[in-house]
Structure 1
Amino acid sequence: MPTVVPISPKIRPHPVLDEDLIEALPVAVYVCNLDGLIVRYNRMAAELWGRSLGPADANMLYCGAYRLHLPDGMPLPQDRAPMVEALRSGKSFRNLEFQIEQPNGQRLSVLVNIDPLRDEDGTVVGAINCFQDVTEHKLAQEHKSRIDELNRSLQRQAEFMATVAHELRSPLAPVRNALEVMRRSSPGTDAEPMQAMIERQVDHLTRLVDDLIDGSRVTAGKIDLKMFRTDLRDIVDRGVELVRHQIEAANQELMIDVPRHPVNMVADATRLTQVLGNLLGNATKFTPIAGRIRVSLTVVDNFAVLSISDNGIGIPFERLTSIFDMFSQGEQAATRGPGGLGIGLALTKRLVQMHGGDIVAESAGCGHGSVFVCRLPMRSCREASSSTTSE
C-alpha cells in the first residue's frame, strides 16, 4: 500500500498526484504543501531517505532526508533547499545534483527535478519533487575517470622515457665525434673549438640530469625551501644571467622592468632564481630569432607579481592549464636549441606554490606570444626562518 497523507484541498486535481500512480513511478516522489510540509511520498522516496513508511510529521519540511548536502559534500540548510524556491517563486528545477544523508550516515547522490503545483487560478499551492539515486552511476564515472587518468599518466611516462633516451643520447654523439677528431689531430692543432663544444654538451647533459633529479623530488614531495630575506630584484638579475647567453645568441631583445626600491620578502632565493630561469629559458626557446622578451616585477595588493612575456609561437587555449603537467612539452618542431624533458614548468609551478603563490599562463593562441604571470605573497621579513632539511 502506498503511503498516503490527505492532500490539502487547495491543491487542484493533477494526474501526477494520483496515489497509485505516484507509488508506481520508477523514481522517488514527494509532494509539499505551500508551508513546505511533506504531505505525500512514495515507497522509493522513503527508502532513499532511510525512513520507515508512515505518515509525514511536522519535521519533514521541504525534504525528507536526514540531512541534505551539495555535490561537494558541504551541508545545505533545510531552508535553502530548492523546494523552498519552487514554493516561493513557482520556479521549476531540472537535474540538480545533491547528496542526501540517511540516519545511519550513508550518503547517496541524487538527481532532482521539481515543479510547482497550482490551483485553478494559477496560484502556487504546493510542489512536487521527483528524484533518483545516481550513486552507482557517479561511482562508475569516477572509476572510469581514474582509469582514463591512469592510462594518460602511463602514456605520458612512456613518452617521457623515450624523450629521456633521445635527449641524453643527442649530446653524446658530437662529444664522441669531437674526441675522435682531437685524437686524430696532429700535435699542436688548435683544440679550443672542440673543447668549447664539449663543454656546451656537457652543460646540457648536466641540466638534463638536474631536471631529472628535481622532477623525482617533486614527485616524492622531497623538495624543501631555505627561506631567507631576499630582494626580488636580485632574483631577476640572477635569472636573466642564467639565460643571457641564449638570448644574445638568438639576437633577441630583452626588456627588464623592475622597481627602483627593494622588493623584499622571505623566500628561497636559489629556487626562485630557478623559477625565473625556467620561464626565461622557455621564452627564448619558443621565441624566434630577433624576437622580444620582457621581464617585469611589480607589487600589487601585497603580492609580488613577476611577469615574463614574449612574442613567440604562443600556446593553444586548450593547453594553458595542462602545460604545467609533469612531462608536458611544447611543440618541439617550433623550438630552437636543445630540447627538454617536460619537467621545467611542472617544477616551476610547484616551487611557486611552495612559496604560497600561484602561476598562470596566458596566450591569445598560436602565433600570438605568451605571458607567464607569477604571484608571490610578500611575507614579513621580521623573522626570516631557515628550512635546512637536506635534499
Structure 2
Amino acid sequence: MHKKERKGTDRAVKAGVAQASHASGSYIPESPGSIARLGTHFFRLLESLPAGAYTCDEAGLITYFNARATQVWGRSPRLNDPADRYCGSFRLFAADGTPIPHEQCWMALALRNRRSYDGEEIVIERPDGQRLSVLAYANPLTGENGVPMGAVNVLVDVSALKRTHEQLEQVNRANDRYIATLSHELRNPLAPIRSSLETLRRAPIDGAFRAALDIIDRQFGHLARLVDDLLEDARITSGQFELRREPIDLRTAILAGVEISQPLISGAALTLIVELGDEPLPVEGDSTRLAQAVANLLNNSARYTGVGGTVSLTACRRGPNAFIAVHDTGAGIAPDKLTSIFDMFVRGDEASRHATEGLGIGLSLVRTIIELHGGSVTAHSDGIGRGAEFRLRLPLVAHAAATQTAPSAVAQKRVDALTAGRILVVDDNQDAAESARMLLELWGNDVRVALDGASALQIAEAFRPELVLLDIGLPDMEGYDVARALRKQPWGESILLVAVTGWGQGHDRAKSRDAGVDLHLVKPVDFTCLAEELSHRGVSRHLA
C-alpha cells in the first residue's frame, strides 16, 4: 500500500503510534510506548508470517497489524483508537455462531489472564458480510522485568479447510445413506427367496430339480454375504461398528466362525483341519465379532483355494497372546500385496483362476475387528501359487474366562421347526409375507398376514398372536409405532415381537429396543436360525 493512500493512518503515525511501511503496508511502532520496545525485527517477523497478525498495548488498543490481517478483516482497523479496542468495530462469533463480546475475545483474555490461548477458533464477519473461520493464537507480551507490555495475536484463516471438511462430511453422510439404503433394498427381495427355498427343501423333489435347488441355494448364500459385506462397510465408515466385550474362551468364537464358513468350504470340496488344543484361551472380546473375523479368514482361503485343496486353522497360547493361524494351499499372495490386502475393496491377484467373486471387504473387516480388540493380523505367502497364511494375535486376560461350552464344529443343536402356534407376519412386500406364511404353515403354525400397520393392529386385536414378525418400513406407519401400540394392549405385553427388516444399523436396533421389540433381525431371515436364537434367549414356549 502506497504512502499517498494512507493519509488517515499517517495521522496515527504522527501521533507516535505506528509508521507506514512502503514495502508491505504494515505498521512498525516507533513510539516510546512499551509495545514498541520489542524492536523492529519482531514486527518484520510478524510481517513475514503467512497469517494475519496484530499487537495491542496494555489497554487493548491496536498498535500494529500486518497486511494479511487486513485481508482477513476485509479492511484496516483504526490504530490507538478506543473504537477499535480489541478490534471493537469488527463482529466476532464463536464456532457455533454465538456472538463474542469484545471484552471476552481471545486477545482480551490473554491480556487479562496473562496466559496464552493457542489455536482457539473464532469467526470474523467482514464488512461485506462474509464470515471467515480463523484459529487465534493470542499471547501476552512482557518486558525483561515481567512488566506487561501488551499482547500479540496471530490469525490463521482456516475457512477453506473447514469448507472442504464440511463437504467431505456431506459426501460421507450421503455415501453412508446410499449404502445403507442399497443394502435395505437388496435385502427385501432376498427375504421371500430364502423363505421359498426353505419351503421347497421340504418338498418331495429329487434328481435335476434337487440339483437346481442346490445351485440356487448356494448362489443365494453368496449374494446374501455380499449384501452383509456392504452393510458392514457402511457401519465402519460411519463409525457405528461397536463391540460388546465380555470374558470368553476364544476357542468358542473360533468354532462358531468355523461353523459359519463350513458351507462355503464344503461347497468348494476343500479339506478343513482345525486344531485348537485343550488349553483355554481367555480373552475380553465380542464373541460374535471374533467369530465373524475367523469366518472371514476361512472364507477368504476357501475362495482362493482350488477344489481338493486344504485349509487349516490352528490356535494356541504364545506368551501373553492368543495366536491363530489360517493356512491354505491356494493361489498365494504377491509380495507387494501382503500389506494392502487388508485395505478396503482390495482383492487378491486378479489373475488367479481360483478366486471367486467378492467385494474385497472381508479382510478389511478382519483387521478392524482384531485391532479394536487390541490385536493384530498379518498376511504371509511365498508368492503366487504357493498358498497363504494369516496370523492373528489377541491379548490374553489374566482372569479366567467365563464358563462356556465350546460348540462342536461338526454338529450343532438344530431346531427344525418354529411352532409358536399363532403367528402374525407384517410386511408390505407381499411376496415376502406370503412366502413366510407358507413356510410357517408348513411347520404347523396358524399364520395371518398384514400388509400395513393399520391392518396389523386390527388383525392382532382379533387373532391375539403369540409371535409377531414385524417389518419396520410399512406404508402407513412405522413398525416401531405398531410395536408400541401392541405393547399398550393388556394382551400385548406377553407377545414376542421380532423386527424383520432391511435396516440393521445401530440406531435402527436402538429404536427397536425403545419400541418394545424383543429381537431385531435383518433380512433375509433364516427361520431355522431364528428358532435357535429364540431358544438361546430362553423363549422355549415358542419352539418345538
TM-score (norm 2): 0.38
Q: Find the counterpart in structure 2 of residue 138 from structure 1.
A: 162
Query: Are 2:279 and 1:279 aligned?
Result: no
In the TM superposition, residue 157 of structure 1 has moved relative to its aligned partner by 1.9
Output one character per residue of 1:317-339: Cα deviation in whole Å (capped at 9) or x when no partner.
xxxxxxxxxxxx69x99x95179
> Is the contact between residue 440 and residue 447 of structure 2 (CA under 8 Å) also seen in structure 1?
no
Name the CA shift for 1:111/1:29 in 2 (closer, same or farther; >3 Å).
same
Secondary structure at 2:474's aligned position in 1?
helix
Which whole-Å CA distance do the structure 2 matches of 1:234 and 1:158 have between them?
A: 31
In the TM superposition, residue 104 of structure 1 has moved relative to its aligned partner by 2.0
- Decide which of 100, 105, 116 is 1:92's aligned counterpart: 116
Give 1:212's aligned amino acid.
Answer: G
Which whole-Å CA distance do the structure 1 matches of 2:53 and 2:40 have between them?
A: 10
Output one character per residue of 1:53-90: Cα deviation in whole Å (capped at 9) or x when no partner.
76452211223662000111111111111212210121
Query: Are 2:478 and 1:241 aligned?
Result: no
Give 2:488's aligned amino acid.
Answer: I
Q: Find the counterpart in structure 2 of residue 114 from structure 1.
A: 138
Q: Find the counterpart in structure 2 of residue 47 from structure 1.
A: 71
Which whole-Å CA distance do the structure 2 matches of 1:12 and 1:109 have between them?
A: 30
Output one character per residue of 1:125-184: Cα deviation in whole Å (capped at 9) or x when no partner.
211000121111111111111112222222212222232222232223345567889xxx
Name the CA shift for 1:131/1:239 in 2 (closer, same or farther; >3 Å).
farther
Q: Find the counterpart in structure 1 of residue 149 from structure 2.
A: 125
Query: Are 2:530 and 1:337 aligned?
Result: yes
Name the CA shift for 1:52/1:82 in 2 (closer, same or farther; >3 Å).
closer
Deviates more, 1:87-96 or 1:49-58: 49-58
Which whole-Å CA distance do the structure 2 matches of 1:39 and 1:336 have between them?
A: 76
Secondary structure at 2:494's aligned position in 1?
helix
Which whole-Å CA distance do the structure 2 matches of 1:81 and 1:20 have between them?
A: 25
Which whole-Å CA distance do the structure 2 matches of 1:44 and 1:65 have between them?
A: 18
Q: Find the counterpart in structure 1 of residue 103 from structure 2.
A: 79
Which whole-Å CA distance do the structure 2 matches of 1:205 and 1:337 have between them?
A: 22
- Decide which of 418, 443, 449 is 1:197's aligned counterpart: 443
> Is the contact between residue 46 and residue 52 of structure 1 (CA under 8 Å) also seen in structure 2?
yes
Q: Find the counterpart in structure 2 of residue 9 from structure 1.
A: 33
Output one character per residue of 1:156-214: Cα deviation in whole Å (capped at 9) or x when no partner.
12222232222232223345567889xxxxxxxxxx99746375676599877842225
Please tell me whether Structure 1 or Structure 2 has the larger radius of gyration of its CA atoms. 2
Which whole-Å CA distance do the structure 2 matches of 1:131 and 1:194 have between them?
A: 69
Q: Find the counterpart in structure 1 of residue 94 from structure 2.
A: 70
Name the CA shift for 1:115/1:162 in 2 (closer, same or farther; >3 Å).
same
Secondary structure at 1:161's aligned position in 2?
helix
Name the CA shift for 1:239/1:39 in 2 (closer, same or farther; >3 Å).
farther
Question: What pairs up with 1:183-332 in 2 under 5 angstroms?
Answer: 195=441, 197=443, 203=449, 210-213=471-474, 235=488, 237=490, 239-243=492-496, 278-282=515-519
Name the CA shift for 1:12/1:50 in 2 (closer, same or farther; >3 Å).
closer
Secondary structure at 1:159's aligned position in 2?
helix
Query: Are 2:193 and 1:169 aligned?
Result: yes
Q: Find the counterpart in structure 2 of residue 369 from structure 1.
A: none
> Is the contact between residue 30 and residue 45 of structure 1 (CA under 8 Å) also seen in structure 2?
yes
Query: Are 2:176 and 1:155 aligned?
Result: no
> Is the contact between residue 111 and residue 131 of structure 1 (CA under 8 Å) also seen in structure 2?
yes
Which whole-Å CA distance do the structure 2 matches of 1:236 and 1:197 have between them?
A: 28
Q: Calculate percent identity across the aligned residue pairs.
A: 24
In the TM superposition, residue 36 of structure 1 has moved relative to its aligned partner by 1.1
> Is the contact between residue 77 and residue 84 of structure 2 (CA under 8 Å) also seen in structure 1?
no
Name the CA shift for 1:236/1:94 in 2 (closer, same or farther; >3 Å).
farther
In the TM superposition, residue 24 of structure 1 has moved relative to its aligned partner by 2.5
In the TM superposition, residue 92 of structure 1 has moved relative to its aligned partner by 0.6
TM-score (norm 1): 0.51
Query: Are 2:311 and 1:58 aligned?
Result: no
Query: Are 2:55 and 1:31 aligned?
Result: yes
Output one character per residue of 1:284-319: Cα deviation in whole Å (capped at 9) or x when no partner.
x7xxxxxxxxxxxxxxxxxxxxxxxxxxxxxxxxxx
> Is the contact between residue 175 and residue 198 of structure 1 (CA under 8 Å) also seen in structure 2?
no
Give 2:443's aligned amino acid.
Answer: M
Which whole-Å CA distance do the structure 1 matches of 2:448 and 2:147 have between them?
A: 82
Secondary structure at 1:79's aligned position in 2?
helix
Output one character per residue of 1:232-251: Cα deviation in whole Å (capped at 9) or x when no partner.
9972845523317x8xxxxx
Name the CA shift for 1:159/1:16 in 2 (closer, same or farther; >3 Å).
farther
Name the CA shift for 1:169/1:279 in 2 (closer, same or farther; >3 Å).
farther
**Runs of 5+ unmatched residues, structure 2:** 1-20, 206-420, 422-438, 453-467, 499-510, 533-544
Which whole-Å CA distance do the structure 2 matches of 1:336 and 1:124 have between them?
A: 74
In the TM superposition, residue 20 of structure 1 has moved relative to its aligned partner by 3.2
Which whole-Å CA distance do the structure 2 matches of 1:198 and 1:169 have between them?
A: 21
- Which structure has more relative contact order (CA 8 Å, sep 6+)? It is 1
- Decide which of 2, 11, 21 is 2:45's aligned counterpart: 21
Q: Find the counterpart in structure 1 of residue 430 from structure 2.
A: none
Give 1:139's aligned amino acid.
Answer: R
> Is the contact between residue 70 and residue 97 of structure 1 (CA under 8 Å) also seen in structure 2?
yes
Which whole-Å CA distance do the structure 1 matches of 2:444 and 2:203 have between them?
A: 9
> Is the contact between residue 242 and residue 277 of structure 1 (CA under 8 Å) also seen in structure 2?
no
**Runs of 5+ unmatched residues, structure 1:** 182-191, 247-273, 286-328, 340-391
